[in-house]
Structure 1
């Protein structure tokens, strides 16, 4: 099972990096092309921070060092949890998604210094921050972990009581 999860993580990292490479090669920075007019564009942006640009204004040298260190720590922790997990397939899947996303964005931070984002959803004056395949994997993995924690752990505790 864990070999399958690692293969899936590798596939997500490859998909993430291939899509980012396509965007970098075929778009100018900040160029957007509508996919669904008035709702969804492919727009090439570089995110210097974390989710939603968090810490994006921090001094560049400190920011890069901070995010590389934090990402290495996160990858180590998630890898430990992935190896340690023996029973819960949902948790294995969740950890795999988070690990794949962290690795995908880590590659950008190492080689570009910022994360390549390109999926932009908006409506009129409202706009969701641009994101990428790695961000989708991380968000989905964390969402599944929350569901696991809230519902599965609660039902297990109630059954044991």
Structure 2
């Protein structure tokens, strides 16, 4: 897989991710939802932390939420630099197409969420109780590096009270699948899934693969 093809894949995912987020941000109020199917909703939420809204300050008590937010954003930027270098080296060393495809997905997803974290705070005003405006005259809802990631894909496939015999969740109301995510999250999850389930194929070079197929 060439650098040009990998770049095109990343740009397509970024475009779909950002267009969907900007549309939701400028057409929905916070927590507004539309039921597409009984098991799929468009639900607008904002995430200022990591997965499932977890914050660094939840684990490091002496750190304020705002400092933790900046640290998380900086960490994401450094991670993207590392993933980008990994992708470049994989292409240069002619690693497998599976590996390059997976890393491209992860890089595209990470970039998509970084754009939200770095810029959305200054590009949009608040979505609480109103539809946000792009580049509002009075300024955005927060400073640079303090943006919130826009999520909108929700798949509540089943909801109900769990049987009492089930450990930990017995007798509690439970929804599967509860997390709300976005296109960037899907790209990251798919890329990681490929690396896990197709590990041997991913970390075999194309040259080695060709040699193994030669009688």
- Gapped regions of structure 2 (runs ≥ 5): 59-63, 121-146, 160-173
**Match of residue 145 from structure 1:** 195
Provide closer, same or farther for how the CA distance between residues 79 and 117 of structure 1 changes in structure 2, counting only shifts above 3 A. Answer: same
1:19-76 residue CA offsets vs partner (Å, 9 max, x unmatched): 0011111111000110112x11100000111112121765331232112111111111
Decide whether the 8 Å contact of 1:47 with 1:56 is kept in 2.
Answer: no
**Match of residue 60 from structure 1:** 65
* C-alpha distance in structure 2 between counterparts of 1:148 and 1:40, whole Å: 28
Larger radius of gyration: 2
- Secondary structure in structure 2 of the residue aligned to 1:34: strand
Shift of 1:14: 0.9
Decide whether the 8 Å contact of 1:9 with 1:97 is kept in 2.
Answer: yes
| TM-score of the aligned structures, taking structure 1 as reference length | 0.88
**Match of residue 88 from structure 1:** 96
- Gapped regions of structure 1 (runs ≥ 5): none
**Match of residue 99 from structure 1:** 107
Q: Please state if 1:119 is matched with 2:169.
A: no
* C-alpha distance in structure 1 between counterparts of 2:42 and 2:56, whole Å: 21
Shift of 1:128: 2.1
Q: Indicate the RMSD between aligned Cα atoms, in angstroms.
A: 1.8
* C-alpha distance in structure 1 between counterparts of 2:198 and 2:4, whole Å: 22
* Runs of 4+ displaced beyond 6 Å: none
Decide whether the 8 Å contact of 2:56 with 2:72 is kept in 1.
Answer: no
* C-alpha distance in structure 2 between counterparts of 1:16 and 1:56, whole Å: 25
| TM-score of the aligned structures, taking structure 2 as reference length | 0.67
